[in-house]
Amino acid sequence: IEQTSNSSFIKKLKSTGRSLVVFYGSQTGTAEEFAGRIAKEGARYKMKGMVADPEECDMADLVEMKEIQKSLAIFCIATYGEGDPTDNAMDFYEWLQNGDADLEGLNYAVFGLGNKTYEHYNEIAIYIDQRLEELGATRVHEIGLGDDDANIEDDFVSWKEKLWESVCSHYGIEETGEESN
């Protein structure tokens, strides 16, 4: 799984025949690791994936996702502090708050990473999930809320299994049995 090094994740998706991009908002690496696992598993469903750091990407390019057939953007997003985004998701968060991009045709799903002992439980992931829908994007699978106070790995794995079921029925695809790309 490669990481974007330039600003255009769309160009990279197109030039490498990929249809799945998994963004992460991560401070200590958990969300980034989860993103990598999803991107890799995409190959099982004929969806070649890549991981991308929103800080390195021009997120306004999300409007162009609709130009890629059966494309999907997944967001693995941690919440910190008083319900703050991670440093690398700050610009994306502000872009969502202040902008009014037309995201019709963008298919997406969100997994949140948080901890129930905090007052602002998973707040950023919940915001992003709702805001993307408000901007016209299509939620392919309902948001998953990972709780680090219990077992976030279990939360992630059960969400991910259901995610692929939703993806398969949404796009009319079947599992290929291929393990990775």
- Where do contacts with ligand FMN occur on this chain (CB under 6 A)? 26-31, 78-81, 83, 86, 113-115, 118, 120-122, 148, 152
Q: Between 45 and 156, whose beta carbon lies closer to ligand FMN?
A: 156
* Least Cβ distance, residue 24 to ligand FMN (angstroms): 7
- 101 near 62, Cβ under 8 Å? yes
Contact between residue 23 and residue 35 where contact means Cβ atoms under 8 Å apart: yes
CB nearer to ligand FMN: give 142 or 149. Answer: 149
Q: Quick one: residue 172, left, alpha or beta (phi over 0 = left, psi -120 to 50 = alpha)?
A: left
CB of 22 to ligand FMN, least distance (A): 13
Spatial distance between the Cα atoms of 100 and 115, rounded to a whole number of angstroms: 30
Minimum Å distance from CB 113 to ligand FMN?
4
Residue 31 CB, nearest distance to ligand FMN (Å)?
A: 3
Residues found in the chain: 181
Q: Which CB sits closer to ligand FMN, 13 or 89?
A: 89
The DSSP annotation for 110-155 comes to EEEEE-TTSSSTTHHHHHHHHHHHHTT-EESS--EEEETTS-HHHH
Minimum distance of ligand FMN from residue 163's CB (angstroms): 18
* Complex with ligand FMN: residue 4 or 19, whichever CB lies closer: 4
Q: Any idea of the CA torsion for 163, 168, 171, 176, to the nearest 10 degrees? A: 130
Give min distance, CB of 145 to ligand FMN, in A. Answer: 8
Confirm if 22 and 51 have CB atoms less than 8 A apart: yes
Nearest to 77 by CA among 20, 19, 130: 130
Residue closer to ligand FMN, measured from CB, 79 or 181: 79
Q: Which residue is nearest to ligand FMN (CB)?
A: 114
Minimum CB distance to ligand FMN smaller for 65 or for 76: 76
